[in-house]
């Protein structure tokens, strides 16, 4: 049985349908991310789990118990907000202890658990610091310690790293994942950052317009996206319009004279999705013909924009020290059939 289950979860704000019949299960100890663009319903879903927003329909089950009518402070959840929501007049230790005080935990136990929680997030010795004397990363750690100290059944994270700079955000992703694995706390993260979701999650639920389009481990969702939206949102991808035809050995996807096997695809207009790092350069006259319009060096890799008869194709190649085609060069593009997903084009 799932530890957390969302069954037909729906939320309407007047005529606006924010969350549309959501179905999701989360196992005990699992880290699941709700990933999607602004307005897709992910934060509203988290707020319904937390009890801050009442569902219009559907159920939220925690350990088999329906949470309908259960107050937020009775759900046993730890929550970290985007703004951290620390009390400015309280020290780090007092902020972390607040939830324990509300639960009337004895003082000696409370102090021991606060020290343990702050040490867990790397803030031992910072007990007497006020938020104004803490960096953004340190404030985020205090907020995380405050959520964990109550030993929640589920940890809810609402864009907790979005206010940090890029380098610190990457460091905190590693630390957050290590802490979650060490404690085994069931965790649901809301984020619009694809890299963050893939780095942290056991599974990703990709949301669009109030619905989940795919739930899968990060690698599977990236390599085998279920829909064109997932393919385009979860990392960079190329959408190539072509035609599936019957070939001697089965269906083939044809693109401006370049053909590749497309096993299982139905004949007719089709869209192929290909990740830019899976595209290689071939000699001019082979593969899909194109001309390099721009190239950008980014240290570990090159990004090249190639104009073709099928439109602009993005190519990413690792920096091996080899010379890349220059702007204006005629090139051929090729990729493996296994790196291409082909779907019928929408009418």
**All structural domains of the chain:** 4-233 (3.40.50.300), 238-344 (2.40.50.140)
The DSSP annotation for 16-63 comes to EEEEEEEEEEE-TT-EEEEE--TTSSHHHHHHHHHTSS--SEEEEEET
At residue 49, the pLDDT reads 96
Mean pLDDT of 107-135: 91
CA distance 101 to 103: 5
CA distance 224 to 230: 9
Binned at pLDDT 50, 70 and 90, residue 347 comes out as low
Beta bridge partners of 214: 206
70-79 pLDDT, tens digit each: 999 889 899 8
Phi and psi (nearest 5°) for 224?
-130, 70
pTM of the entire predicted model? 0.83
CA distance 273 to 288: 15
CA distance 113 to 98: 12
At residue 133, the pLDDT reads 92
């Amino acid at each position: 049985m799932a530890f957390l289950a969302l069954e037909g979860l729906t939320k309407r704000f007047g005529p606006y349908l924010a969350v549309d019949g959501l179905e999701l299960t989360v196992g005990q100890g699992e880290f699941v991310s709700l990933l999607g663009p602004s307005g897709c319903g992910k934060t509203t879903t988290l707020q319904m789990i937390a009890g801050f927003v009442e569902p219009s329909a559907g159920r939220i089950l925690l350990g088999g118990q329906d949470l309908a009518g259960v107050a937020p402070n009775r759900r046993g959840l730890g929550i970290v907000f985007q703004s951290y929501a620390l009390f400015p007049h309280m020290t780090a230790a007092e902020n972390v202890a607040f939830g324990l005080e509300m639960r009337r935990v004895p003082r000696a136990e409370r102090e021991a658990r606060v020290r343990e929680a702050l040490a867990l997030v790397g803030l031992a010795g910072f007990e007497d610091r006020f938020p104004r004397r803490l960096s953004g990363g340190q404030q985020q750690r205090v907020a995380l310690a405050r959520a964990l100290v109550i030993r929640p059944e589920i940890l809810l994270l609402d864009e907790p790293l979005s206010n940090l700079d890029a380098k610190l955000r990457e460091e905190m992703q590693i630390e957050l994942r290590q802490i979650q694995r060490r404690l085994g706390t069931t965790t649901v993260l809301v984020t619009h950052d694809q890299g963050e979701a893939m780095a942290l999650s056991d599974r990703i639920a990709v949301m669009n317009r109030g619905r989940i389009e795919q739930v899968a481990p990060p690698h599977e969702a990236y390599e085998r996206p279920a829909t064109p939206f997932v393919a385009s949102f979860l990392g960079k991808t190329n959408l190539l319009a072509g035609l599936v035809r019957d070939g001697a050995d089965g269906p083939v996807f044809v693109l401006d004279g370049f053909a590749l096997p497309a096993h299982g695809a139905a004949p007719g207009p089709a869209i192929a999705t290909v990740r830019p790092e899976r595209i290689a350069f071939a000699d001019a006259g082979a593969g899909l013909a194109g001309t390099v319009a721009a190239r950008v060096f980014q240290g570990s890799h090159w990004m090249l924009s190639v104009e073709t008869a099928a439109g602009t194709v993005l190519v990413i190649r690792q920096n091996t020290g080899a010379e890349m085609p220059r702007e204006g060069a005629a090139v051929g593009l090729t990729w493996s059939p296994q790196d291409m997903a082909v779907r019928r084009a929408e009418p």
